[in-house]
Amino acid sequence: MTQRTNEDQNLIAALELQLRQRDHAIGLLRETAFAVGSELDLDKVLQLIVDRARELISAETVLLPLLNPDCDEYTYRAGSGANIEEIVGESLPLDFGVCGWVWKHRRPWWRGVLSELSVQEKNLWEKEAGTLLLVPLVGRQHFLGGIAGLNKSGGGEFTENDLQLLELFAGQAAIAIENAMAMEGVELAKREAEQAQGELQRVNKRLSAVNQELEYLSLYDELTGLPNRSLFRDRVTKEIEQRGDDSAALLIVDIDRFQEINDTLGHEVGDELLRVAAGRFVKALDPADTISRMAGDEFAVLLTGADTQSAMTSARGLLAVLDQTLHLGGHEVAVTAGIGIALYPQHGRDISTLLKHADVAMLVAKRDKVGIHVFDDQRDAGGPGRFALVRDLREALDAEEFELYYQPKVELATSTITGVEALARWRRKDGAFVPPDMFISALEQTGLIQRFTWWALDTAMRQRIAWLKRRFDLRVAVNVPISVIMDSQFMPELSRLIERHGVHGGITIEITENVFFGDYDHLNAVLSQLQGFGIECSIDDFGTGHSSLSRLRQLPVAEIKIDRSFVMDMLQSKDDAVIVKSTIDLGQNLGLKVVAEGVENVQTLQQLYRLRCDSVQGFHIAKALPVAELEAFFAHSKWAVARLGDAESATVGKGGNGGN
Ligand code: C2E
Ligand code: CA
Ligand code: CA
């Protein structure tokens, strides 16, 4: 009885111990699950797992191998206990060792699996089977790896109970690992997004810097950093608007002999001179004043609130700073300037008038060598501004600064370039390109247009002959103002020119339409004579003037050119389309060739082809080009170029007997 009681008591004690152990294990599991679950940093989660697992199964060492993302290797990512330094961080092939067995079977390894192994495997692993536990970590989405326990603390083997505990634990650990991994992915994505955002901000910053730079370049002069002409005009206009009748002065400062300095000492010295001068001017002026570099060696200054006296004082100040010697590129350069002054409001109420009058005053200052001149309504109006232009144009003619460019005309029926229009270009000595509309009207106003036109006709005829010699049969059109044609010396002079070059036809003279109000009979006579010389007459800018086609019928005219303003808009504007179509129809009914100028795109070209227009000219084919570039264009163009037969070319350039 007593014996039995003792036995019972032993049993009860053992059971109680087991229960306590269970309780402890469950408590540990719960606690671990909580700790692990609330940690999101992957490395910390892994460390927590191995530490707790070691406690749970009383192992000397616990290791945590995880499969690599590519699933070609596994890596010991964490460890706890003895000798872990040797193994943590190590990567091994997927099928290596006990781990390989677990990955393959997705089941835990423990002593109990020995019976399932092949003899060979059994021999290999039997010795240590009891000292190793390895349970797989299976997440919701992926197979992750495993948790391995090595050597029971204090010797002995792992029990089935240890296995169950570790399996239970692994289920929770896997979820925690997966969460932490997902979190790591989120963090990574976040960092990448932040990086992209940063990059975007940098790009945006750069973009706005570029924009600013562009704006700067369009408003400021690159060389001196001063406002350029357009910003100056803008500022002065605003200033004037705000001032009402408050006085102001506009100064034009033009450096003397700048061109000479540029030519003799070089452009770099010229640039340096402008930079230094600009810097000195800025210092000499009041901060409230506006100074700008208008062009070349010309500066403009707006002095707000200034009258004649104070403007003169400021102007003297500007000349004085130039007076101090300049050292430029190893040279000592003496620099002087001329200054013209126009006053607001008495010399002009808008920027253009003020600039014009200050400009005139500046030219007077230079002509009279007085340094500074204030515009004088009585004496200066219409004066040396014109004078300067006449001088410039005359010099340009003397120095042969003009050049003819040629723009091809394509005959649509044959897709052939049958002619070119000669268009004049003028690059001034200072390098500035002057638009033809501008210098042509100046030439007309100054009476130099005669000389210019003879130069153009002479050059064009020469070119026609030069091309003929190379078998290009190109009709060359020259723009001749009606005033030149109507001059009594025109026909005699022209026949001499024709004689000299021996051109038999192949030349067209373009005259503008709005001329038909002059001496009609005389014009008729001249055009008839031209026809006799084989020179065709073309009516330019047709549609912009007042002549009617019925009136044209009575003139010996070969061709009309529909003004580019209609052609350029004919696809958008119904009105223009109607004008183009009816001009083609009526012109052709009168036996005239019809040319459309200003053809800028293929759609317009196609439409003109449909309308049976004879020829086209425009940027879509080519702009006006210098001879060499035009010939290069011929070589690669899809258009054929009109050529002479052998027999014809033999007679070219022999001098001549006039007509053909
Ligand atoms: P224009 O006689 O009507 O010459 C045609 C103008 O249209 C040229 O301008 C030419 O470059 C331009 N042009 C040609 N194709 C197109 C195009 O597809 N689109 C646009 N928007 N324009 C096109 P440019 O060369 O500036 O000449 C302007 C004017 O100056 C000429 O108009 C002509 O009246 C006059 N001009 C030019 N050279 C001479 C010349 O040697 N003597 C005379 N008296 N006047 C000339
Ligand atoms: Ca023309
Ligand atoms: Ca025209």
Tell me, yes or no, whether 169 and 245 share the same domain. no
Within-domain flag for 50 = yes
Identify whether residues 288 and 268 lie together within a single domain: yes
For 40-57, the pLDDT digits (tens) are 788 988 999 999 999 989
**Residue type at 379?**
R
Specify the residue with its C-alpha closest to ligand 1, atom 37: 423
- What's residue 519's pLDDT? 67
Whole-angstrom Cα distance, residue 624 to residue 629?
Answer: 9
- Strand-pair category, 402-411 with 416-427: antiparallel
* Lowest mean pLDDT, pick from 273-277, 457-461, 592-596: 273-277
The confidence score (pLDDT) of residue 423 equals: 98
Q: How sure is the predictor about 384, in pLDDT bands with cuts at 50, 70 and 90?
A: very low
What Å distances lie between residue 447 and 316, 450, 452, CA to CA? 38, 7, 10
Which residues keep their CB under 5 angstroms from ion ligand 3? 540-541
- What's the pLDDT score for residue 653? 47
Handedness of CA 8, 9, 13, 16 (dihedral sign): positive
- Is 305 contained in some domain? yes
User: Whose CA is closest to atom 42 on ligand 1?
Assistant: 479
From ligand 1's centre to the CA of 423, what distance in Å? 6
The pLDDT of residue 191 is 86
- Domain-embedded: residue 298: yes
**Contacts of 593 by beta carbon, 8 Å cutoff, 6+ apart:** 558, 559, 560, 587, 614, 615
Show the domain range for 356: 229-380
Spell out the alpha helix ranges (H) of 447-571: 449-469, 482-486, 490-501, 520-532, 549-552, 564-569
Q: What is the pLDDT of residue 656?
A: 39
Q: What is the pLDDT of residue 657?
A: 37
Q: Is 253 in the same domain as 203?
A: no
On whether residue 606 sits in a domain, the answer given is no
The CB-based long-range contact list for 315-324 (8 Å cut-off, 24+ gap) reads 315/251, 315/339, 315/341, 315/372, 316/372, 317/284, 317/285, 318/251, 318/253, 318/281, 318/284, 318/285, 319/371, 319/372, 320/284, 321/280, 321/281, 321/283, 321/284, 322/255, 322/277, 322/280, 324/280
Residue from 564, 617, 619, 625 whose mutation best tests the ligand 1 pocket (most atoms within 8 A of CB): 564
Is the Cβ–Cβ distance between 36 and 178 less than 8 Å? no
Q: Higher confidence at residue 162 or residue 515?
A: 162
φ, ψ of residue 530 in degrees (nearest 5): -60, -45
Task: Classify residue 345 by its DSSP letter.
Answer: T
Q: Does residue 494 register a pLDDT over 50?
A: yes
* Residue 401: predicted pLDDT: 93
The pLDDT of residue 476 is above 80: yes
Confidence of residue 300 (pLDDT cuts 50, 70, 90): very high
User: What are the pLDDT digits (tens) for 11-27?
Assistant: 888 888 888 877 777 77
67 vs 103: CA distance, rounded Å: 9
Q: Which residue's CA is minimally distant from atom 32 of ligand 1?
A: 437
pLDDT at 224 over 80: yes
User: 421 with 564: CB under 8 angstroms?
Assistant: no
Structurally, the chain folds into a number of domains equal to 3
Residue 240 belongs to some domain of the structure: yes
CA 197 – CA 414 distance, rounded (Å)? 59
35 pLDDT more than 80: no
Q: What pLDDT, on the 0 to 100 scale, is given for residue 385?
A: 53
- DSSP letter string over 82-151? TTGGGTTT-EEETT-HHHHHHHHH-S-BSGGGGGGS-HHHHHHHTTTGGGEEEEEEE-SS-EEEEEEEEE
pLDDT at 426: 92
Residue 39: band (very low, low, confident or very high) from pLDDT cuts 50, 70, 90: confident
* pLDDT above 80: residue 247: yes
Q: Select from 180, 195, 217 the last residue of a domain.
A: 217
Q: What is the mean pLDDT of residues 222-239?
A: 89
Asked if residues 173 and 46 have their Cβ atoms less than 8 Å apart, the reply is no
Q: CATH number of the domain that 361 lies in?
A: 3.30.70.270
User: What is the residue with the minimal CA distance to atom 12 of ligand 1?
Assistant: 598
Residue 552: which of 489, 581, 594 has the closest Cα? Answer: 594
- For residue 168, the domain's CATH number is 3.30.450.40
- The verdict on residue 427 lying in a domain is yes
Beta bridge partners, 326, equal 333
Q: Report the nearest-CA residue for atom 8 of ligand 1.
A: 423
Question: Do residues 188 and 248 both lie within one domain?
Answer: no
With H, G, I as helix, E, B as strand and everything else as coil, classify residue 55: helix
Ligand located closest to 440 CA: 1
For 309-323, 374-388, 592-606, which range has the lowest pLDDT when averaged over its residues? 374-388
What whole-number distance in Å separates Cα of residue 555 and Cα of residue 558? 9
Q: What is the CATH number of the domain that holds 418?
A: 3.20.20.450
Out of 245-249, 411-415, 638-642, least confident range: 245-249
Contacts of residue 654, defined as CB under 8 A and 6 or more positions apart, other chains included, come to 502
Ligand nearest to the CA of 484: 1
Output the six-digit token pair for 223: 């060389």
Give the closest residue (by CA) to ligand 1 atom 29: 437
Q: How far is CA 546 from CA 340, 583, 612, 622, in A?
A: 43, 14, 25, 30
Cβ distance 523 to 509 under 8 Å?
Answer: no
Q: What is the pLDDT of residue 381?
A: 63
**pLDDT at 313 exceeding the cut of 70:** yes
Are residue 421 and residue 348 in the same domain, yes or no? Answer: no
State the closest ligand 1 atom to the C-alpha of 456, by its place in the atom list counted from 1: 41
CA of 422 to the centre of ligand 1 (A): 9
**pLDDT at residue 139 in the model:** 86
Closest atom of ligand 1 to 425 CA is 38
One domain for residues 321 and 243: yes
Give yes or no: residues 186 and 330 share one domain. no
DSSP 622: -
Residue 185 CA from chain centroid, whole number: 40
For 171-210, b where at least 16 C-beta lie within 10 A, e where not — what string? ebbbbbbbbbbeeeeeeeeeeeeeeeeeeeeeeeeeeeee
Pocket (CB within 6 angstroms of ligand 1): 407, 422-424, 436-437, 440, 456, 479, 481, 540-541, 564, 597-600, 617-619, 623-624
Q: 179, 195, 217 — which closes off a domain? A: 217
Cα(563) to centroid(ligand 3), Å:
5
Most confident of 358-367, 422-431, 529-538: 529-538
Q: In sequence order, what are the residues at sequence separation of 6 or more whose Cβ sits closer than 8 angstroms to the Cβ of residue 541?
A: 512, 513, 514, 561, 563
As a whole number, mean pLDDT of residues 284-312 equals 92
pLDDT of residue 454: 97
Pocket test for ligand 1, best of 423, 486, 616 (most atoms within 8 A of CB): 423
Let me know if residue 143 belongs to a domain.
yes
Last residue of a domain, one of 217, 250, 285: 217
Q: What is the number of the ligand 1 atom nearest to the C-alpha of 624? A: 11
DSSP-based three-state secondary structure for 369: coil
Whether 245 shows a pLDDT value over 90: the answer reads no
69 with 160, same domain: the answer is yes
Say whether pLDDT at 650 is over 70: no
Percent of the chain with pLDDT over 90: 46
Least confident of 107-111, 180-184, 353-357, 508-512: 180-184
Q: What is the pLDDT of residues 543-565, one digit of tens each?
A: 876 566 666 777 899 999 999 99
Please tell me the least confidently modeled range out of 171-185, 370-384, 540-554, 636-650: 540-554
Query: What are the structure tokens assigned to 471, written together?
Result: 């078998």
Q: Do 73 and 207 fall into the same domain? A: yes
Q: How many whole angstroms from 406 Cα to the centroid of ligand 1?
A: 10
For residues 302 and 368, state if they share a domain.
Answer: yes
pTM greater than the 0.75 cutoff: no
Whether the per-residue pLDDT at 201 is higher than 70: the answer is yes
Question: Which among 1, 145, 124 has a CA at the least distance from the CA of 62?
Answer: 145
| Average pLDDT rounded to a whole number, residues 584-606 | 94
Rounded to the nearest whole angstrom, what is the distance from the C-alpha of residue 624 to the centroid of ligand 1? 9
Distance 506 CA to ligand 1 centre (A): 20
Same domain, 200 and 81: yes
Ligand 2: centre distance to CA 513 (Å): 11
The reply to whether 345 falls in a domain is: yes
User: Are 59 and 202 contained in the same domain?
Assistant: yes
Q: Mean pLDDT for the chain?
A: 86
Residue at 262: amino acid letter: N
Which of 479, 508, 617 gets mutated to test ligand 1 (max ligand atoms within 8 A of its CB)? 479
Q: Return all residues near 140 (Cβ < 8 A) that are at least 6 apart.
A: 174, 175, 178
Amino acid, single-letter form, for residue 90: E
pLDDT, position 115: 83
